[in-house]
Amino acid sequence: MSRDPVTIVTYEWLPEFPRGFVRDIRARWAAEEAGVAYAVETLPVMPKSVAHRQIQPFEQVPILRDGDLTLFESGAIVLHLAEGTPLLPEARRAEITQWLIAALNSVEGATGRWALMQMAERHPAIFGPPSPPEVVEHARQGMVARLDALERVMQGRDWIAGDFSAADILLADVLRVPAAMEALAGHPALTAYVARATARPAFQRALADHMAHWQAADARMAAQA
């Protein structure tokens, strides 16, 4: 480790269903890939605290602390951890930033819209009233158009911008959601890409530590009960 440890802030506890997909996993993954040691601090998911709002105006996670710097937005955290590492070579900065932002806007804009409608079917108290079938179908078609475009790009590529980079952390993690909801089945290059990305030891460590965090929280709650 060539730099001081950082701190990743996530929730203290969460119910089962979002576990494995909370965006602190992106920060953990980037830290593991970059060889940066990190500690974990927590905030309650409900009720939100004033301390939370002061460091993350939208009251979300993750938040990164690196010395005097406090940073939110998983994309910005990943780019920051990638600075000066092979995850963000200077010669490819513009291209990597392009794909990282594509993941968070052009791709997640479409996959997230459809996924939110699916989640509203299952958890309307949390995600709001369900949408009618024709609206869900329109969202599905919009998502498939974006996935078709990405499928063509990924054919013949292992990673989205040269070697594995900061952009792959965001793009693969965004695609994990439709993959888990069985919406990537018609996209073999994307399916293989997500498998390749999530097979990386750094992702495996990040996922294991992320899941262990919730299990430890469950155990603490059980001990208090």
Q: Where are the alpha helices (DSSP H) in the chain?
A: 24-34, 50-55, 74-82, 93-102, 108-122, 124-127, 133-154, 166-180, 188-198, 201-224
Measured CA to CA in angstroms, residue 40 lies from 28, 43, 62, 86, 99 at distances of 10, 10, 10, 24, 28
Report which residue type is found at 204.
Q
Is 113 an interacting residue with respect to its own copies (CB under 8 A)? yes
User: CB 93 → its own copies: shortest distance, Å?
Assistant: 8
Pick one of 58, 67, 156, 225: the residue that binds its own copies (CB under 8 A): 58
Q: Which residue, 141 or 215, has its beta carbon nearer to its own copies? A: 141
User: CB 135 → its own copies: shortest distance, Å?
Assistant: 5
Q: Which of 55, 86, 82 is nearest to 162 (CA)?
A: 86
Here's the x/- map for its own copies, 120-159, by CB under 8 A: it reads as --------xxxxx-xx--xx--x---x--xx-xx------
Q: Which residue, 192 or 217, has its beta carbon nearer to its own copies? A: 192
Binding site for its own copies (CB under 8 A): 53, 57-60, 69, 71-73, 75-76, 79-80, 94-95, 97-98, 100-102, 104-106, 108-109, 112-113, 128-132, 134-135, 138-139, 142, 146, 149-150, 152-153
